[in-house]
Amino acid sequence: MNSENLKFDAIVIGGGIAGLQAAIDLGDQGYKVAIIEKNPSIGGNMIRLSKVFPTLDCASCITTPKMAQAAHHKNITLYTYTEVKKLSTKGNKYIVGAVKKPRFVDEDKCIGCRQCEINCPVLVPDPEQGNFVAKKAISIPFSNAIPQIAYLDTQWCMLCGKCAKVCPKDAVDYFQKPVNMEFESDVVIMATGFKLTSLEDKRQYGQGKLKNVITSLQMERLLAPHGPYNRVLRPSDGKEPESIAFIQCAGSRDKSMGIEYCSRICCMYSIKQAMLLSGALPLADLTIYNMDIRAFGKGYEQFYQNAIAMGIEFVRAKVAYLTQGEEDKVIVHFEDQTTGEKIQREHDLVVLALGAVPEMDNLEGFQGISCGYDNFIHSINPNIDPALLGKQGIYGAGCCIGPKDIVDTISEAGNAAMQASIFLARKKEEK
Ligand SMILES: Cc1cc2nc3c(=O)[nH]c(=O)nc-3n(C[C@H](O)[C@H](O)[C@H](O)COP(=O)(O)OP(=O)(O)OC[C@H]3O[C@@H](n4cnc5c(N)ncnc54)[C@H](O)[C@@H]3O)c2cc1C
Ligand code: SF4
Ligand code: SF4
């Protein structure tokens, strides 16, 4: 394996909205920054969303310009498809160890023409579209991905050679190997984000076996302008659902899952999705089963009240379990918390507000930082300096510290960048 040695003022780990914002803020101040992102494109979870609460702005219209700003910034260098595995110190420097995964496409040669993708004969599930539709074994990850460079998934490729044959730049390289990389910097910003618990985790909710039970991120894709079908259809038969239910806390505030905390974002995104659905499917019945609605942010209570006024039904209930009904319907079994009555109701489509957990839940090999009681990265003094994760020079922002909305993520990113720039300026003065 090759090794590279790269020096920056700051290294930002994670190219979601937190990492992009922190890098742009530092880059604008003249610091040399590297963003290291493990996926083939930057953008994180936000680029997968439809619209965002509470303003209902288009998510991709906000995220894409930020992605482009970071990618074209003269002080920012992007390292995509590169996963950070280690963090250590050497003197007063941070050393970040990462592995550049093989794309099997030469990044310097690829021009993003998609000829390989068009000609590849192998169809595989597309995770960027909630696995509802297929993509090719070699592809550009999604239409507004940055960088526009193809990557080949060896899990599916049958090595037929077609992509290499049609590539006008001779960029396909089946022999690429992982490359170990070592970065050096004065500060590090952790922005590694979150993921949702899996559909399979929740035995009572069908464990992923009920076809018309989907995740909240899958619903985001169904509602997105460049979604899989450009319409909201239920997976089992492609029909427009007439009755859609949202089940809150389907993985949060739940001892059986080991996730006792509130994931904070789910009440609001389910209300948002129900509102968007009332526009997309005006005749559909929309029900949100919840223990209580947590509308904590500025304008959020009004957003919730608007949803009630629009006719979205809020049922106070902890859903016990889901079963398969007739004609692919899903039966929701719950106890109404206001009457104590045990009730069953049928819906065409059910959306689970799964729990938010850290994307990186194992900090072994990451010197100087640790996980808190909830497995998210521990902020050592949240009331005084929420960005500080360990000794001066290592900061955090966004959902890697705990689940939160975009407004809080962006403010934390600005704070982490500010703390980092003060630290860098002091270091310069000391020299
Ligand atoms: C269904 C759903 C709907 C939502 N809707 C809204 C909404 O309407 N409004 C709102 O305010 N919020 C919403 N949110 C919340 C919003 O998605 C988050 O606030 C935001 O995406 C957090 O950004 P982040 O950068 O902290 O994390 P992420 O977006 O998770 O980005 C983290 C990045 O770090 C990368 N990474 C992780 N580990 C490594 C590693 N070891 N090396 C390199 N890279 C790494 C990941 O690949 C990822 O790209 C929603 C969330 C969900 C699940
Ligand atoms: S070699 Fe693999 S990726 Fe390329 S066209 Fe054939 S199946 Fe697709
Ligand atoms: S690998 Fe070749 S064919 Fe595929 S997008 Fe890049 S330049 Fe085009």
Check pLDDT > 80 for residue 238: yes
DSSP letter for each residue of 118-177: HH---EEE-GGGTTSSEEESEE-SSTT-SS---EE-TTT-----HHHHH-TT--B-TT--
Check pLDDT > 80 for residue 4: no
Check pLDDT > 60 for residue 148: yes
3-state secondary structure of 288: strand
Whose alpha carbon is nearest atom 4 of ligand 3? Answer: 116
**412 touches ligand 1 (CB under 6 Å):** no
pTM of the model: 0.96
Closest CA to 96 of 187, 216, 205, 1: 187
Closest CA to 119 of 66, 175, 147, 160: 160
Q: What is the pLDDT of residue 2?
A: 44
Whose alpha carbon is nearest atom 35 of ligand 1? Answer: 14
**103 touches ligand 2 (CB under 6 Å):** no
Q: What is the pLDDT of residue 3?
A: 45
Report how far apart, in Å, the C-alpha atoms of 270 and of each of 3, 189, 205 are: 45, 30, 17
Q: Which of 96-105, 172-181, 253-262, 331-340 has the lowest mean pLDDT?
A: 253-262
Check pLDDT > 50 for residue 182: yes
126 alpha carbon – ligand 1 mean position (Å)? 19
Residue 245: CA count within 13 A, CB half-sphere? 25
**Domain range summary for the chain, segments of one domain joined by +:** 3-101+178-193+359-430, 115-166, 198-355
114 alpha carbon – ligand 2 mean position (Å)? 13
Strand duo 243-250 + 342-347: pairing: unpaired
CA distance 114 to 167: 9
Report how far apart, in Å, the C-alpha atoms of 352 and of each of 186, 208, 287, 410 are: 42, 11, 12, 26
Do 3-101+178-193+359-430 and 198-355 agree at the fold level? yes
**158 touches ligand 2 (CB under 6 Å):** yes
**105 touches ligand 2 (CB under 6 Å):** no
Segment 214-237 shows an average pLDDT of: 95
The residue assigned the tokens 């608007």 is: 306
Distance of CA 228 to the CA centre of its chain: 18
CA distance 250 to 234: 20
Check pLDDT > 70 for residue 397: yes
Residues with a CB atom less than 6 Å from ligand 3: 105, 110-116, 150, 167, 169, 171-172
Residue type, 91: G
Ligand 3, residue 117: give the atom nearest the CA: 4
Ligand 1, residue 53: give the atom nearest the CA: 8
Ligand 1, residue 194: give the atom nearest the CA: 30
**404 touches ligand 1 (CB under 6 Å):** yes
Closest CA to 393 of 87, 143, 14: 87
Q: Please check whether residue 33 is in contact with residue 15, taking contact to mean a CB–CB distance below 8 angstroms.
A: no
Check pLDDT > 90 for residue 394: yes
| Fold of the 3-101+178-193+359-430 domain | FAD/NAD(P)-binding domain (3.50.50)
The residue assigned the tokens 């729990």 is: 355
159 alpha carbon – ligand 2 mean position (Å)? 5
As a whole-number percent, the residues of the chain with pLDDT over 90 amount to 89
Pick the CATH number of 198-355 from 3.30.420.40, 1.10.3470.10, 3.40.980.10, 3.50.50.60: 3.50.50.60
Check pLDDT > 60 for residue 111: yes
Entry field: residues in the chain: 431
Residue type, 96: V
DSSP 9: E
Which mutation among 115, 117, 135, 136 tests ligand 3's pocket best, with the greatest number of atoms within 8 A of CB?
A: 115
Residue type, 330: V
For residue 132, what pLDDT band results from cuts at 50, 70 and 90?
A: very high
**263 touches ligand 1 (CB under 6 Å):** no
CA distance 20 to 67: 7
Q: Which helix (H) or strand (E) holds 424?
A: helix 406-430
Which mutation among 262, 406, 412 tests ligand 1's pocket best, with the greatest number of atoms within 8 A of CB?
A: 406
pLDDT tens sequence across 51-65: 999 999 999 999 999
**408 touches ligand 1 (CB under 6 Å):** no
Q: Residues near 314 by Cβ (< 8 Å), separated by ≥ 6?
A: 287, 288, 290, 293, 307, 308
Q: Which residues pair with 233 in a beta bridge?
A: none
- Per DSSP, the chain holds a count of helices (H) and strands (E) of 8, 22
Q: What is the pLDDT of residue 202?
A: 84
CA distance 28 to 8: 15
Q: Which helix (H) or strand (E) holds 273?
A: helix 266-280
Ligand 1, residue 407: give the atom nearest the CA: 11
Residue type, 294: R
The pLDDT mean for the chain works out to 95
Distance of CA 250 to the CA centre of its chain: 18
